[in-house]
Amino acid sequence: MKRKRLTFLFFSFTGYSFRVPRHRRIRRTAIWLLAIFLPGVRTAEAQFAGGFFNQQSTKEKLMAEQILGLDTYLGEIKTGYQITESGLHAAQDLKGGTFSLHTAYFNSLQQVSPAVQRNPKGKAIAELYRQLCSQFSAELSWQQQKKQLSQPEMQYLQKISANVQKMAGEDLSATADVLTPGKLQLTDQQRLDRLDKLYASMKDKAAFTASFTVKCRQLALARQRAAADRTQLKQLYGIQ
């Protein structure tokens, strides 16, 4: 009885007659239940969809911020690269300009000014070299003719002559380098200073040559006179 009464109240509340056929009552009950629960389902779906799209929007926002940050970073890198490249070009230009200046400077050092070329010490060095070579040549020739020096003494004279002429030849070659354009990279003052040193060196060798050959000649002449004196004494006293 209680169940029938509840059923009656339920259908009275829904507006349906108690005597409505059972299959119609079931359909209308289902429609009524859908009417009650469907708004809640739609609300949940809307909340889920809203949350999903909000979540997607947040991700897209973060991604956009990251992309924006990446673009900024790439822009800074590009700016830094451009600055570096500009600096390198500037350094290369500066280096090239400096190299050109250095090249011009060194090329100018290879030139010999007229003042240096007219310096009399260049010709004096060449003349001293000619004189000492001539003195040694003449002394060796005379000594070979007179035969007053022993064989070891002649070998010593020849050795001294060769060594002095070799060193004097090096001085003469160095003098030619100083006076020839393109040989050395020197200022005019450096060339003049070098000429002074070469001239002093050649003078020393020429002075030694003159002194040495004179002593060799004196030794040979002394022996020659001694031999003549011995011959005269032998003739005077009839000594064979």
Structure tokens at 53: 């799209």
Using one digit for the tens of pLDDT, what is the confidence trace for 118-127?
999 999 999 9
∠ CA 39-40-46 to the nearest 5 degrees? 90
Within a domain: 175: yes
- Residue 116 in contact with residue 193, Cβ under 8 Å? no
Question: Do 191 and 119 share a domain, yes or no?
Answer: yes
Residue with tokens 């100083």: 178
Using one digit for the tens of pLDDT, what is the confidence trace for 148-167?
999 999 999 999 999 999 99
Within a domain: 138: yes
Q: How far apart are CA 136 and CA 164, in angstroms?
A: 9
Within a domain: 146: yes
Length of the chain, in residues: 240
Within a domain: 120: yes
Q: What is the dihedral sign for C-alpha 101, 106, 108, 109?
A: positive
Within a domain: 71: no
Question: Do 33 and 124 share a domain, yes or no?
Answer: no
Number of domains in the chain: 2
Residue 52 has pLDDT above 50, yes or no: no
Using one digit for the tens of pLDDT, what is the confidence trace for 201-230?
999 999 999 999 999 999 999 999 999 999
CA-nearest of 169, 98, 163, 90 to 128 is 169
Within a domain: 214: yes
Answer yes or no: pTM beyond 0.75: no
Q: How far apart are CA 176 and CA 126, in angstroms?
A: 9
Question: Do 53 and 119 share a domain, yes or no?
Answer: no
Within a domain: 201: yes
Question: Do 146 and 223 share a domain, yes or no?
Answer: yes
Within a domain: 84: no
Q: How far apart are CA 107 and CA 183, in angstroms?
A: 11
Q: Which of 13, 29, 57 is the last residue of a domain?
A: 57
Residue with tokens 């969809």: 49
Q: In terms of residue numbers, what domain contains 147? A: 115-237
Question: Do 124 and 21 share a domain, yes or no?
Answer: no
∠ CA 159-165-166 to the nearest 5 degrees? 90
The predicted structure's pLDDT at residue 213: 97
Question: Do 121 and 214 share a domain, yes or no?
Answer: yes
Using one digit for the tens of pLDDT, what is the confidence trace for 155-202?
999 999 999 999 999 999 999 999 999 999 999 999 999 999 999 999
Phi, psi of 75 (to 5 degrees): -65, -40
